[in-house]
A and B are shown apart, each in its own frame.
Chain A
Amino acid sequence: MAGLLSRERIIARPDFNRWLVPPAALAIHLCIGQAYAFSVFKLPLTKALGITTSLPDDWSQTQLAWAFTLAIVFLGLSAAVFGKWLERVGPRRSGVVAALCWSGGFFLSALAVKIHSIWLLYLGYGVIGGCGLGLGYITPVSTLIKWFPDRRGLATGMAIMGFGGGAMIASPLSQILMDHFRSATSVGVIRTFVVLGVVYGIAMLCGAFGFRLPAPGWKPAGWTPPLAQKAMITGNQVHVSRATMTPQFWLIWAVLFLNVTAGIGILEQASPMIQEMFAGKVKAGAAAGFVGLLSLFNMGGRFFWASLSDKIGRKPTYAIFFALGAVLYFLIPLTGRAGNVPLFVLAAVVVISMYGGGFSTVPAYLADMFGTQYVGAIHGRILTAWSAAGVAGPVLVNYIREAQISAGVPKADAYDVTMRLMAALLVVGFLCNLAVRRVNERYHMSDAELSAERTAARAHA
């Protein structure tokens, strides 16, 4: 079994078709994207004991929200900690571990609901499932970047689009399963978790076993690496431990953090925001439609912007995110005052497409700056920005809104300060992105260092 999972075993033969790698990557990302659909379980889980109504011993929505928060925190932490391990052991072993953690997390969560232990739910879905999320997120990205040096943005866009799409599959699927398993004595969550654990486990294992690595020196037919002097794309490699010492790493960390924090400003409050800003015009059903529309643009933006970055470059792509995003955030409250729903929706969907685009363009940005050798590990460490934004964004947005309402500001106007703050964050992001330059040559690995690393990896395998 150990040999079956080894890095050496998955070096591709010359007739291997690299277009088999994106579906393998998508198989994993479509599964872990379920994380964004966790809210579909919140209401049923608040009635796990009472079935038709919540009993005093039933879990509260606040308690359940922590399971999702923990999963996102452990996504970032595990990606940061295990990224280097992934580069050493290869994507198949890492993908298998991700599958075991993610599906195992669902089985433990089912047990947690059965014995009604919130701590077991935190351990299962939050900690173990979160580790599956982190490894499952970086493994396909690292592999795709190695196969598509000519179209890094397109490749990572395809995989990370799957993360957005995963929630769109999980949400209706979970609802169908819960409806099917619901009975007089159960809300149907336990069996739904078990089925999801089995389905996700199988799909992720198929993805993991579909991974191959290109042979050393492989490149796509007819492609020549761009000249390093001409663009912000290096032909050199930077070791993960050195990458974190460069200003570029921390500037890109800030870029991701600020872009995600700003996007959460819309995502977190999408449904109440549109109903309160257009009171009387937009009802709950239409607001749910607005949330669905945001999901579609979040997913589409991941593919569109990352692919566009192959043409115009990563730095200009982020410059568009921050400049256009700041203008749109500033305009959103004005559309509310003017009662212009279509303009509000247009601004929101463009903002959210750039939120998604920020996630999918960052791996290609890192590969351009630090090379492809350790991009999985470096990407893993960058993802701590997502964890930080996942906590900071909602706290910031909710705190400001509460403070505004407490100060007597009408609900419809309570979003003004939040939106302006988001615009200000994006201006800071624009400046951070502007400051990104080529990595200094002193951080590059020498040929001898690279060779020693590869020999050590082979010895380990």
Chain B
Amino acid sequence: MADDSTIERPGHWGLVAVSWLAVGLPLIWGVWSTGRKAIQLFR
């Protein structure tokens, strides 16, 4: 029988969503700022 700690039973999906938002929002802001600058190339 497998050790109990080796069986994957993932939970905490709410915390996963919050964590991804916490890093995703600044990243999206950075990409948006850079994207606005990049658009100048096509003007």
Residue of A nearest to B16 (CB): A19
Interface contact A293-B33, CB-CB below 8 Å: no
Instruction: Assess whether A289 is interfacial by the CB under 8 Å rule.
Output: yes
Known contacts A13-B5, A17-B10, A296-B35, A286 near B43 by CB under 8 Å: yes
> When chains A and B are docked, how far (Å) is the Cα of A217 from the Cα of B6?
6
Give how many A residues have a beta carbon under 8 Å from the other chain's beta carbons.
46
Q: How far is the CB of B25 from chain A (nearest CB, A)?
A: 10
Name the one of A13, A17, A19, A290 contacting B41, with C-beta atoms under 8 angstroms: A290
Interface contact A14-B26, CB-CB below 8 Å: no
> When chains A and B are docked, how far (Å) is the Cα of A293 from the Cα of B34?
8
Interface contact B41-A286, CB-CB below 8 Å: yes
A267-285 interface (Cβ within 8 A of B): 285
Residue of A nearest to B42 (CB): A289
Name the one of B8, B11, B23, B40 contacting A289, with C-beta atoms under 8 angstroms: B40
Name the one of B11, B30, B35, B41 contacting A165, with C-beta atoms under 8 angstroms: B30
Interface contact A169-B27, CB-CB below 8 Å: yes
Interface contact B5-A293, CB-CB below 8 Å: no
Query: Which residues on the A side are within 8 Å of B42 (C-beta)?
Result: 289
Instruction: Assess whether A255 is interfacial by the CB under 8 Å rule.
Output: no
Query: Which residues on the B side are within 8 Å of A210 (C-beta)?
Result: 19
Q: How far is the CB of A278 from chain B (nearest CB, A)?
A: 11
Interface contact A19-B10, CB-CB below 8 Å: yes
Query: Which residues on the B side are within 8 Å of A216 (C-beta)?
Result: 6
Q: How far is the CB of B34 from chain A (nearest CB, A)?
A: 5
Interface contact A23-B40, CB-CB below 8 Å: no
Interface contact B38-A289, CB-CB below 8 Å: yes
Interface contact B15-A165, CB-CB below 8 Å: no
Q: How far is the CB of B21 from chain A (nearest CB, A)?
A: 9
Interface contact B34-A295, CB-CB below 8 Å: yes
> When chains A and B are docked, how far (Å) is the Cα of A19 from the Cα of B17?
9
Interface contact A20-B27, CB-CB below 8 Å: no
Q: Mark B1-16, 1 if CB is under 8 A from A, else 0.
A: 0111111111111011
Query: Which residues on the B side are within 8 Å of A181 (C-beta)?
Result: none
Interface contact A14-B7, CB-CB below 8 Å: yes
Q: How far is the CB of A144 from chain B (nearest CB, A)?
A: 14
Q: B interface, how many residues as a size bin?
A: 20 to 34
Instruction: Assess whether A243 is interfacial by the CB under 8 Å rule.
Output: no
Residue of B nearest to A290 (CB): B41
Residue of B nearest to A29 (CB): B23
Instruction: Assess whether A30 is interfacial by the CB under 8 Å rule.
Output: yes
Query: Which residues on the A side are within 8 Å of B23 (C-beta)?
Result: 23, 26-27, 30, 162
Query: Which residues on the B side are within 8 Å of A12 (C-beta)?
Result: 5
> When chains A and B are docked, how far (Å) is the Cα of A20 from the Cα of B4?
20
Interface contact B10-A296, CB-CB below 8 Å: no
Q: Mark A286-314, 1 if CB is under 8 A from B, else 0.
A: 11111111011001000000000000000
Instruction: Assess whether A15 is interfacial by the CB under 8 Å rule.
Output: yes
Q: How far is the CB of B28 from chain A (nearest CB, A)?
A: 9
Interface contact A15-B31, CB-CB below 8 Å: no
Residue of B nearest to A297 (CB): B38
> When chains A and B are docked, how far (Å) is the Cα of A221 from the Cα of B20?
22
Known contacts A14-B4, A17-B16, A169-B26, A292 near B10 by CB under 8 Å: no
Residue of A nearest to B26 (CB): A169
Known contacts A15-B11, A20-B12, A30-B26, A219 near B6 by CB under 8 Å: yes
> When chains A and B are docked, how far (Å) is the Cα of A13 from the Cα of B41?
50
By CB atoms of chain B within 10 A, which of A15, A19, A288 has the most? A19
Query: Which residues on the B side are within 8 Å of A22 (C-beta)?
Result: 20
A186-234 interface (Cβ within 8 A of B): 210, 215-221
Query: What are 14 A-B residue pairs whose CB atoms fall within 8 Å in the complex?
Result: A15-B10, A165-B27, A166-B30, A171-B33, A172-B33, A215-B3, A220-B8, A221-B7, A288-B40, A289-B41, A292-B34, A293-B38, A293-B41, A299-B31
Q: List chain A positions with a Cβ less than 8 A from chain B.
A: 11-20, 22-24, 26-27, 30, 162, 165-172, 210, 215-221, 285-293, 295-296, 299, 345
Known: A18-B10, A167-B30. 11 other contacts (CB 8 A): A16-B10, A17-B10, A19-B16, A171-B33, A217-B3, A217-B5, A288-B40, A289-B41, A289-B43, A293-B38, A296-B35
